[in-house]
């Protein structure tokens, strides 16, 4: 299919003898569509002279709480224009229907940017020039079809409390076509068929009832989450797909199976597919028709995939035996990775410009540019017409021709209401905790205002109870600001998929609120109303109830609108805090309207709480005769102390506060009008959200450390003065001396770590689930062990169990150090590098390492020794140029590879004396960065450390760095444990003896994963094969010998008996210092707090301007003090996300 409808200039792609297992079903779907009269939706994409610029990613100075107010600095920054950086320079290409293009390049080369632009997602870049055509349409016309031009981003963005089935069900509901194919009787039947097929296609049927999860909620594995992301993207039924590093977190076999699936869909359905991958084995590479290579934005090659390697070799580059072609092509742009053939040392292209010139002078370039007239061809115009007809048939007849959506507006709202309830029910603990809090607060308030008398003594008490009722529910509504930003990334993804209109999202939220607000207010009202003793009539109670319901809906809409209007949470939280202070003070309770000063009285008239309080007061005191007792005579003055003047009507009391019963239903109408206005603002703001594509990941240097940073950069430049030396010339003397010094300074491990008959089970709704089943093995000093297996096989689970990081579930078996139970100090004696790279964003690299070293090294080591060891690790991991840089967050700080090195360094500086665990250290990295990352654990093992690493897609060169392998099959069962051998000869021999032979020059790591869990498994249960093998018997015997031998000797690692390395007071000092430094640099947080406090003080001062000395004025004095309490909710609302990030 690809050769017939693709480029005539391409050589036929060799057919893979092991085609995707679901290919017959896809062909059946295509035949059914053809028989139903549905046209093929084929587009193709062509671009030329595509140039993209963005704000420069160079290091910038980060101000602190003091330096931000420096006048000279502010003036300099105002004069300084933001530098622009070209991140894509004159790119060109053509991918026709049925073709697949692989985009290669190191991180920062512009691969993601190219995919963003080709997916027509341009916002966030400084400028985009050049031509991009989709079929015969230009980019502007293609905006109408954004649901057909789809980008699958590298990150998995989901609601973690939803299950896999719920997540996929939502997407399929919103993409079920209006016109059904033959043999399908209903939309529900087609939706279920699509859902089942997609779950099967990504082999995630077994996870359907499991939560997606995240770092806080247990759910599917990282690889399974990535497959859910792929399946969700496929629900769009798109014609052009851009996949950004979509195999991240997948094992080699699953990655290959995914690529086969995309290849099949591209061939059969005539899709246009563009993929960027950081790690691609040869099996994956061979499935692509074309390849495009980028080097720092320059396009240095674009052409048939089978011609890329010969072209690079003709220029003098050497592709090592067994190397992945994709890694080889990317490596040609990296001076430290490329290998030059003898005789080409002076002629090979040394930089991107030279490489680009060589390519543009080649016959391949001349051949490829002949395709760029495709948009003007009859074939392109005809395909575009058929594509537009097919999209129109898919759309509901109620939608306009310009709408990119598929289902009608009411169906969108219905689907999102269902999802909203699923999200809430998926986090039942939070929901029930909130409802319990409401009842407890109602009980507390009811006891405080209990049985208020129906005399003048009860007027203020009852008013206070009604004020509390609206204030408390307003405080609960503030959480909408946080929720608005929590769900925004998911909505951005759904909008790019053209699943729903943002207005449907807003209306669905409003509709979903109603039953929960009714439930919440009903319980609250029943408790508070009758405990306080408000008017005991049904009419008064239900009026009170409907006013509270309306007020809560209104304030929820207000805070949701604030969250929608602002682009950052810091701005929204600041404004929400100010709004809370204004609405609470000017609702008529603290300062009665007649006593309000004229400069702020306008706030009363635009304050929803003022109308709510007026309505509540009118409802309560209308028609009452209020006896005046004690000092509370109302009204007061000469003649009013006579017996016949010792009561007043409720109307008189209300009138004294400018209230009246005639206002009640007017006020209720005003509240609903405010609600409608806030809902409209939310819809308008949400519809105009712009989700930026990052234009770089700038490093940030604290201003107070800028001098050290500049000195470090100067040293770095002087060290690189010889960078123009010949490519194969290696100056070894200084480097080898430096390496020897570092190796001598590193800690050496002498303990043996073993685990035997290890099993782990967890409770699930369906019963106990076994995640690890009778696993055993060991790690010795000087050993670098690889832990591999298919996605979901239990690799990270095993690492967590071994590191004693599991807090739930049932663990059976033994884990020992030197043949003895784990010591108390085990967790600080073993380093654990998490996959997520969690760091304090406002700490510099050196500060993070010093913090870890001081707190985690033994207490008998002096501080100077600890800091000296930090220098050693900084040199070892080549962090010298980054030590004074803020770690930041992903996208605004260090790159993924740099963060990974910092993660490893943080564990190394603790001097782990037993073992170092690394969980997926190469995930998300390109081949060169992955090799560099594993190079450091290899050095550690060479000097005597014991290291255990989980790894997904190692290249042959990367796999060769490891000494031993623990291979897990599905269900957490062992499929192999033992040495790997030189060129993997030992592990290949084991599988060869059991009927699975590894082909020459193939990647043994990919081969063994494919054997255990892929199409090469031959139907065997390789865990059973392992149990029956002589190697298993040998391992059991050797494990017993290791344990008994170690137990007979004194322990190599002495347990000092301390759970923590440093005393509590030292911990408090260090953590307090780090927190202070973090706050000092977090100018947004400091400024928000400053603004809230200053505003509250000024606002209070002008509101209670020159209070007198009368009895009534004393009450105002109390309220001006009380009002400062309302600074806290704004601060708390701002603090919560920061707490979660920590």
Q: Which burial class, exposed, middle or buried, applies to 365 when counting CB atoms under 10 A from its CB (0-12, 13-18, 19+)? A: middle
Domain 753-1048 has CATH 3.30.70.260: no
3-state SS, one letter per residue, for 573-594: HHHHHHHHHHHHHCCCCCCCHH
Beta-bridge mates of residue 968: 789, 974
8 Å CB contact between 1095 and 863: no
DSSP 368: H
Q: Which two tokens stand for residue 451?
A: 């049985």
8 Å CB contact between 954 and 946: no
Residue 628, phi then psi, degrees to nearest 5: -100, 130
CA dist 545 → 532, 541, 1021 (Å): 14, 6, 64
pLDDT tens digit sequence for 395-426? 988 888 888 999 999 999 999 999 999 999 98
Q: Which residues of the chain have pLDDT under 50?
A: 1-17, 633-634, 694-696, 717, 719-738, 741
Q: What is the pLDDT of residue 11?
A: 40
The CA distance from 795 to 1084, in Å, is 40
3-state SS, one letter per residue, for 276-287: ECCCCCHHHHCC
Q: What is the pLDDT of residue 1139?
A: 64
The CA distance from 494 to 236, in Å, is 10
Fold agreement (35-55+83-148+239-395, 753-1048): yes
Q: What is the pLDDT of residue 133?
A: 95
The CA distance from 875 to 72, in Å, is 36
The CA distance from 490 to 705, in Å, is 37
pLDDT tens digit sequence for 477-532? 988 888 888 888 898 899 889 998 888 999 999 999 899 999 999 999 999 999 99
Closest to 311 measured CA to CA, from 324, 301, 321: 301
3-state SS, one letter per residue, for 65-117: CCHHHCHHHHHHHHHCCCCEEEEEEEEEEEECCCCEEEEECCCCCCHHHHHHH
**Residue 635, preceding peptide bond in cis (omega within 30° of 0):** yes
Closest to 104 measured CA to CA, from 267, 272, 298: 298
Q: What is the pLDDT of residue 698?
A: 65
Task: Give me the helices (H) in 586-732, please.
Answer: 601-605, 608-621, 650-656, 664-687, 706-719
Q: Which two tokens stand for residue 326?
A: 């994709």
Q: What is the pLDDT of residue 368?
A: 92
Task: Give me the helices (H) in 1048-1082, please.
Answer: 1064-1081
Closest to 803 measured CA to CA, from 826, 820, 825, 770: 826
Task: Give me the helices (H) in 764-887, please.
Answer: 795-802, 826-829, 845-856, 863-876
Closest to 422 measured CA to CA, from 163, 770, 719: 163
E-strand ranges in 947-1017 read 947-950, 964-969, 973-979
DSSP 567: S
Q: How many CA atoms lie within 13 A of 241 on its CB side?
A: 28
What stretch of H or E contains 769?
strand 767-779
8 Å CB contact between 813 and 755: yes
E-strand ranges in 927-1076 read 947-950, 964-969, 973-979
pLDDT tens digit sequence for 1041-1068? 999 988 888 876 666 677 788 889 999 9
8 Å CB contact between 15 and 165: no
3-state SS, one letter per residue, for 188-241: HHHHHHHHHHHHHHCCCHHHCCCECCCCCCCCCCHHHHHHHHHHHHHCCCCCEE
The CA distance from 870 to 911, in Å, is 10
DSSP 13: P
Contacts of residue 404, Cβ cutoff 8 Å, sequence gap at least 6? 143, 144, 145, 146, 147, 148, 498
Q: What is the pLDDT of residue 553?
A: 95
The CA distance from 258 to 265, in Å, is 11
What stretch of H or E contains 47?
strand 45-55
CATH number of 35-55+83-148+239-395: 3.40.50.300
Boundaries of every domain in the chain: 35-55+83-148+239-395, 155-236, 409-688, 753-1048, 1064-1141
Q: Which two tokens stand for residue 443?
A: 């009980």
Name residue, tokens 């809560």: 552
8 Å CB contact between 971 and 773: yes
Q: Which two tokens stand for residue 520?
A: 């919440």
Q: What is the pLDDT of residue 663?
A: 85
Neighbour tally for 443: CB within 10 Å: 14
8 Å CB contact between 975 and 962: no
The CA distance from 941 to 939, in Å, is 5
Q: What is the pLDDT of residue 470?
A: 93
E-strand ranges in 96-185 read 100-104, 127-134, 137-138, 149-152
**Residue 361, preceding peptide bond in cis (omega within 30° of 0):** no
The CA distance from 94 to 85, in Å, is 25
Q: Which two tokens stand for residue 866?
A: 């600890």
Beta-bridge mates of residue 777: 755
Name the percent of the chain lying above pLDDT 70.
Answer: 89
Contacts of residue 716, Cβ cutoff 8 Å, sequence gap at least 6? 880, 881
């Amino acid at each position: 299919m690809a050769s017939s409808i693709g480029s005539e200039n391409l050589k036929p792609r060799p057919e893979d003898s092991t085609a995707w297992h679901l290919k017959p079903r896809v062909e059946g779907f295509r035949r059914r569509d053809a028989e139903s009269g549905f046209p093929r939706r084929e587009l193709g994409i062509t671009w030329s002279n595509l140039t993209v610029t963005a704000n420069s990613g160079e290091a910038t100075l980060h101000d602190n709480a003091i330096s931000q107010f420096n006048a000279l600095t502010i003036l300099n920054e105002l004069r300084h224009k933001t530098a622009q950086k070209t991140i894509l320079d004159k790119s060109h290409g053509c991918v026709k229907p049925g073709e697949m293009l692989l985009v290669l390049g190191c991180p920062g080369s512009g691969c993601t940017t190219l995919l963003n632009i080709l997916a027509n997602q341009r916002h966030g870049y400084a400028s985009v020039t050049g031509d991009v055509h989709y079929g015969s349409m230009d980019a502007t016309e293609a905006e109408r079809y954004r649901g057909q031009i789809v980008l699958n981003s590298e990150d998995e963005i989901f609601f973690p409390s939803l299950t896999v089935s719920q997540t996929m069900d939502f997407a399929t509901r919103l993409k079920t076509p209006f016109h059904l194919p033959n043999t399908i009787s209903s939309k529900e039947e087609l939706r279920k068929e699509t859902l089942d097929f997609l779950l099967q296609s990504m082999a995630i049927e077994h996870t359907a009832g499991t939560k997606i999860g995240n770092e806080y909620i247990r759910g599917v594995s990282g690889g399974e989450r990535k497959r859910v992301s792929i399946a969700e993207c496929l629900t769009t039924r798109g014609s052009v797909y851009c996949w950004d590093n979509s195999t991240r977190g997948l094992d080699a076999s699953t990655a290959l199976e995914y690529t086969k699936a995309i290849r099949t869909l591209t061939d059969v359905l005539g899709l246009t597919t563009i993929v960027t991958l950081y790690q691609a084995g040869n099996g994956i590479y061979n499935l692509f028709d074309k390849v495009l290579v980028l080097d720092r934005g320059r396009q240095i090659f674009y052409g048939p995939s089978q011609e890329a390697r010969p072209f690079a070799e003709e220029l003098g580059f050497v592709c090592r035996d067994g190397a992945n072609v994709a890694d080889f092509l990317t490596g040609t742009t990296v001076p430290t990775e490329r290998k030059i053939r003898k005789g080409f040392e002076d002629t090979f292209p040394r930089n991107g410009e030279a490489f680009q010139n060589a390519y543009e002078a080649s016959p391949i370039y001349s051949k490829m540019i002949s395709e760029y007239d495709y948009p003007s061809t009859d074939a392109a115009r005809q395909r575009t017409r058929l594509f537009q007809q097919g999209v129109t048939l898919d759309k509901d007849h109620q939608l306009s021709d310009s709408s990119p959506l598929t289902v009608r507006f009411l169906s969108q709202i219905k689907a999102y209401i269902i999802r909203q309830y699923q999200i809430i029910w998926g986090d039942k603990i939070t929901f029930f905790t909130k409802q319990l809090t409401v009842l407890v607060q109602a009980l507390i308030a009811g006891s405080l205002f209990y049985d208020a008398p129906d005399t003048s003594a009860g007027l203020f008490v009852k008013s206070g109870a009604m004020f509390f009722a609206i204030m408390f529910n307003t405080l609960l509504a503030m959480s909408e600001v946080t929720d608005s930003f929590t769900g925004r990334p998911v909505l951005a993804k759904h909008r790019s998929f053209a699943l729903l209109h943002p207005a449907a999202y807003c209306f669905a939220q409003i509709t979903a609120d109603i039953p929960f607000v009714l439930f919440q207010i009903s319980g609250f009202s029943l408790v508070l109303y009758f405990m306080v003793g408000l008017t005991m009539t049904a009419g008064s109670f239900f009026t009170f109830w409907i006013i509270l319901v309306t007020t809560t809906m209104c304030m929820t809409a207000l805070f949701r609108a604030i969250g929608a209007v602002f682009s950052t949470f810091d701005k929204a939280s600041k404004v929400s805090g100010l709004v809370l202070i204004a609405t609470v003070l000017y609702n008529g309770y603290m300062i009665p309207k007649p006593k309000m000063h004229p400069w702020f009285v306008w706030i009363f008239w635009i304050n929803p709480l003022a109308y709510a309080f007026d309505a509540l007061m009118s409802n309560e005191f209308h028609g009452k005769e209020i006896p005046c007792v004690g000092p509370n005579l109302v009204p007061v003055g000469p003649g009013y102390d006579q017996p016949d003047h010792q009561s007043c009507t409720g109307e008189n009391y209300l009138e004294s506060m400018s209230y009246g019963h005639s206002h009640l239903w007017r006020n209720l109408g005003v509240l609903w009008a405010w609600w409608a206005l806030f809902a409209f603002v939310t819809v308008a703001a949400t519809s105009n959200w712009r989700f930026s594509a990052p234009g770089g990941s700038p490093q940030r240097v604290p201003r107070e450390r800028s001098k050290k940073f500049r000195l470090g950069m100067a040293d770095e430049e002087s060290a690189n003065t010889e960078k123009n030396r010949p490519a194969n010339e290696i100056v070894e003397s200084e480097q080898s001396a430096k390496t020897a010094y570092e190796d001598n300074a590193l800690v050496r491990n002498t303990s043996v770590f073993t685990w035997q008959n290890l099993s782990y089970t967890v409770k699930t709704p369906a019963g106990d689930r076994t995640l690890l089943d009778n696993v055993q093995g060991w790690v010795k000093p000087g050993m670098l062990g690889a832990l591999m297996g298919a996605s979901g096989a239990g690799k990270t689970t095993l690492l967590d169990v071994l590191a004693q990081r599991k807090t739930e579930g049932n663990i059976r078996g033994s884990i020992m150090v030197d043949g003895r139970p784990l010591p108390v100090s085990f967790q600080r004696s073993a380093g654990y590098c998490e996959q997520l790279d969690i760091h304090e964003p406002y700490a510099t690299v050196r500060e993070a390492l010093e913090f870890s070293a001081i707190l985690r090294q033994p207490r008998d080591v002096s501080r100077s020794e600890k800091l000296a060891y930090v220098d050693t690790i900084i040199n070892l991991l080549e962090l010298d140029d980054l030590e004074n840089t803020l770690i930041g967050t992903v996208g605004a700080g260090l790159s993924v590879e740099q963060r990974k090195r910092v993660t490893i360094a943080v564990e190394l500086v603790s001097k782990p004396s037993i073992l170092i665990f690394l969980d997926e250290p190469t995930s998300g990295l390109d081949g060169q960065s992955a090799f560099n990352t594993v190079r450091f654990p290899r050095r550690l093992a060479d000097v005597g450390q014991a290291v255990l690493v989980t790894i997904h897609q190692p290249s042959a060169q990367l796999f060769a760095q490891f000494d031993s392998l623990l291979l897990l099959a599905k269900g957490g069962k062992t499929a192999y444990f033992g040495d790997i051998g030189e060129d993997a000869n030992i592990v290949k021999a084991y599988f060869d003896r059991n009927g699975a032979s590894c082909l020459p020059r193939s990647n043994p790591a990919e081969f063994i994963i494919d054997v255990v869990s892929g199409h090469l498994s031959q139907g065997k249960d390789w865990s059973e094969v392992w149990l029956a093998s002589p190697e298993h018997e040998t391992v059991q015997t050797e494990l017993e010998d290791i344990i008994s031998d170690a137990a007979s000797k004194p322990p190599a690692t002495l347990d000092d008996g301390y759970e923590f390395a440093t005393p509590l007071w030292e911990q408090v000092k260090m953590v307090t210092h780090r927190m202070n430094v973090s706050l000092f640099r977090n100018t947004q947080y400091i400024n928000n707090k400053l603004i809230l406090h200053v505003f509250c003080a000024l606002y209070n001062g002008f509101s209670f301007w020159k209070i007198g000395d009368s009895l009534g004025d004393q009450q105002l004095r109390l309220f001006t003090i009380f009002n400062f309490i309302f600074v806290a909710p704004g601060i708390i609302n701002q603090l919560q996300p920061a707490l979660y990030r920590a």
